[in-house]
Structure formats: structure tokens, C-alpha cells
Amino acid sequence: MFKKWSMFAAAGALTLGLAACSSSSTDENNENVSGGSYPERAVTVVAPSGAGGGWDLTARSISKIMSDTELMEQPLTVENKPGGGGAVFMAEFATKEADNDYMLMVKSPPILINNHKAEGNSPYGYKDTKPLAQLTRDYGAIVVKADSEFDSLTSLLDAIKADPSNITLAGGSAPGSMDHLVGILPVFEYGIDPKSVKYVSYDGGGEAIASLLGGNADVIATDASTITEYVKSGDVRVLAVSSPEKLEGELSDVPTFKEAGLDTDFTIWRGIFGPKNMSDAAFEYWNTKLSEMVETEEWKAELEKNGWASEYRNADDFTTYLEEQEKVIIELLTALDMQKQ
């Protein structure tokens, strides 16, 4: 009788033991951490989307650099929580996790957009979090398949103008969220009713690219940084990027919206947020650690590899920047007739 039990228990103990390994091996160094004993265990950083998108890559880069440079003794693990263009996890983050010092979130303009758009409004905005830092800057890209008939942004826009029901635009997030805005911004500037554009939303940038490659979408709006791999392999062509000036690297030949004759641009900043009621110790810890992280060579190399521009703002500056950006987003949504009344 006893023997059977011990065998069963052994299998369980094995798993538990391994789970414990991840934390116990690092416990000894804990005293060196500034600001008391935080963090006492692994911290989770959530990418509120599926794998492969911009949030996901940013979260994984932070986690990687924090462990590579040994800035953090405790592991920083990445979790994907997709849904509603980030709104699903945002609701959880602002309510259930509001006191959880061990849960961070990577986010970008949708934290403002979701809070102000009329359709699918999220009642929670950046004020329901504690902004910790802005880390990077990225831009939107309008992408077609390599063998597409459209060879310029203008030819695509002309086709949409002629018959909007012929062209399917896809993106990795919900209507009214960032991929959608990036996609319809040039459309709007070109004088086409943005509501007439057919927009199909997928769970994350990866699925959107699949739909483009499989011919289920004619054009996708996505982040300039995530598309380079597919440009290199020759599968897709980028028609335009939303940056104010030409990008460097793989996309250096691609015209900007301005060069395509549209007076607009769109910056995708990415930042990291703590829970609303984050303790002072945890807040100080992250403010310090992140400012140290962005100075490391490893972080700079990581940015370059991903095609991101570095743009660091500490917690205070980031909060001020968010206030300004909120106004910009409200203006944009108002122009598109999509703002919450």
C-alpha cells in the first residue's frame, strides 16, 4: 500500500520540486536588492495579446535583458493574455490585480484608445494603472503580399476609393484599436469614409500575417518592427510606414505616409505599467531597475535587433507624456467620428 503511494507522490514531488527550483536558486542574492525585500519571488509581465505581436516582443525583450544582465535576481516571466485588443486583461489588471505588486503590463496607445473610443469602450484607462516607463518607439506599416497588384499606397487607396467592399484590411487587434487606426488613418486622409473600409480583426499580429499570406486579407496594418522578418524572406511588401521620417535598416526604402502625399503620422510608443495601488517599494524598484536597464549595451543591441527606436521616459515624464498623448488620441478619434461622447 505504502509503496504505491510513495510512487505517486514522487511524480508530484518532481514537478513541485522543479517549480521550486526556479525561485530557490536565486534566493540567496535577495539582500542586495534596493528598496527592501521586493521582489521576493518571480514577477509576471503580461503581454495582453497573443504571441508574436509588438507587446509580446517588448515583454520578452525586457524579461530577457533583465535576466541576461543580472539586473534582476528573480525571474521575470512573460504571460500572454489576449482578447479585446488588450481590453480583456486591462479590466482584470485595473480591478482584480490592482494590489498585486508582482503583475506588470506592457502596453501602448490602445490603453488610451480603448478608453476613449465609442464602440467597445473600456472603462479603464492609464489612470487605473501606475505608469512605470516608456521604453520604445515604433511605427505602423501598411503591408501587402509580395505578389499583390498594389505597388504603392496610392494605388491601394485608389482601389479602396473605387469600391471599398473589394478590399479586406486585416489587423491583429479589435476595430477601433491601434492596427485599425494605423490602417484607416491614410484612408481617412485620402478622403475616403473610414467606416466604409472592411476591417477584419485577428488575435494578434501573427494571425493577421497568416491571413495575408493565405490570401484571406488583401492588406494588413501592423507594426513596422514585426514585419521585417517577412520582408527579408520576400513574402510581403511594405507600402508605407507611419513614421515622420524614413526608417533605417530593412525598411529604409519604404516611403512614409507624408512621402506618399498624406499629411499624417502615427507613433506607437510602448511602455510598462504597474498596478494602480502598487506599493512604494515596488514602484521605486522598477523605476530604478528600468532606468538602469535602458543604459545597458544588451538593451541597445536588443532594440536594434527588433528595429525599435529607443525612447526612454521615467515614471514621471511618462505620466506627463500620457496626458499629452491622450489629447492627441481624442483629437484623432473625433476626426474619425469614433470618439466616446
Closest approach, Cβ 193 to other proteins, in A, equals 15
Answer whether 120's CB lies under 8 Å from 176's CB.
Answer: yes
Give the number of other Cβ atoms within 10 Å of residue 232's Cβ. Answer: 10
Closest approach, Cβ 119 to other proteins, in A, equals 6
Closest approach, Cβ 279 to other proteins, in A, equals 19
When the beta carbons of 84 and 140 are compared against other proteins, the nearer one is: 84
Give the C-alpha separation, 30 to 202, whole Å: 42
Q: What is the CA radius of gyration of the chain?
A: 22
Closest approach, Cβ 234 to other proteins, in A, equals 8
| Ramachandran assignment for 176, one of left (phi > 0), alpha (psi -120 to 50 degrees), beta (any other) | left
- What the block records as the C-alpha cell of 87 is 481590453
Closest approach, Cβ 1 to other proteins, in A, equals 8
Determine the 3-state secondary structure of 173 from DSSP: coil
Beta strands in 189-340 (DSSP E): 198-201, 219-223, 236-241, 267-275, 309-313
When the beta carbons of 232 and 327 are compared against other proteins, the nearer one is: 232
Give the C-alpha separation, 319 to 325, whole Å: 10
Give the CA dihedral 258, 178, 154, 138, nearest 10 degrees: 50
Determine the 3-state secondary structure of 105 from DSSP: strand
When the beta carbons of 198 and 258 are compared against other proteins, the nearer one is: 198
Closest approach, Cβ 244 to other proteins, in A, equals 28
Give the C-alpha separation, 180 to 182, whole Å: 5
Closest approach, Cβ 318 to other proteins, in A, equals 24
When the beta carbons of 60 and 270 are compared against other proteins, the nearer one is: 60
What's 202's DSSP letter? -
- What the block records as the C-alpha cell of 36 is 527592501
Closest approach, Cβ 203 to other proteins, in A, equals 7
Closest approach, Cβ 236 to other proteins, in A, equals 10
When the beta carbons of 83 and 255 are compared against other proteins, the nearer one is: 83
When the beta carbons of 48 and 313 are compared against other proteins, the nearer one is: 48
When the beta carbons of 91 and 330 are compared against other proteins, the nearer one is: 91
Q: Parallel, antiparallel, or unpaired: how do β-strands 267-275 and 129-145 relate?
A: antiparallel
Give the C-alpha separation, 62 to 33, whole Å: 18
DSSP 212-229: HHTTS-SEEEEEHHHHHH
Answer whether 208's CB lies under 8 Å from 217's CB.
Answer: yes
